[in-house]
A = this chain, B = another copy of it.
């Protein structure tokens, strides 16, 4: 069900082809909200058109078909947003799963992984800050964008929180096993026979 509304949401911002929507998915939604690839998107667009929630408004080169949201589509989207918030919050996020399970590792393995996470979060943060700076500059210049800026800010705060958490977790893991983090392996003392 969610894919349907994700597409309606993207179309509510502006009309686009399946190809373009696939790209917008990759850019704005994939990392935080929802993922889908083209083989799912094309049939779903056909379904939206069949249900009169979207229509083909243009046929261009290379069989390109541009879809636009209809009034019925906009209403369906609004309805879903305003009413559907109550249910259970189910999440699937493999990266987070990995971080949770990391506490099942030996402290040295866990610390090694956490260091990688901290580094990568820092990188992600730097990239997003650049994106946000661009968006803000564009806004200064007059454009009214909304969707992208919200998403970027969300990502920014999420990554910052993750970065902080990973450093907190690393400190905990290191203080739990403050032995040798000098050599990376060489664990000799753990045969407590």
Contact = CB atoms under 8 A, between A and B. Distances in A.
Contacts of A147: 100, 103-104
Contacts of A181: none
Interface in A102-132: 102-105, 109, 112-113, 116
A97 B34 contact: yes
A78 interface: yes
Chain A contact residues, majority secondary structure: helix
Interface stretch (A25-33, A49-57, A183-191): A25-33
Contacts of A30: 88-91
Given A93-B33, A96-B33, A82 B109 contact: yes
A175 B113 CA distance: 43
Nearest 7 pairs between A and B by C-beta?
A: A9-B101, A161-B161, A12-B104, A103-B146, A35-B90, A33-B97, A157-B161
Interface of A: 2, 5-6, 8-9, 12-13, 28-35, 77-78, 80-82, 84-85, 88-105, 109, 112-113, 116, 146-147, 150-151, 153-154, 157-158, 160-162, 164-165, 168-169
Given A30-B91, A100-B147, A158-B161, 8 more contacts: A30-B90, A33-B93, A85-B98, A89-B95, A91-B92, A93-B93, A102-B150, A153-B168
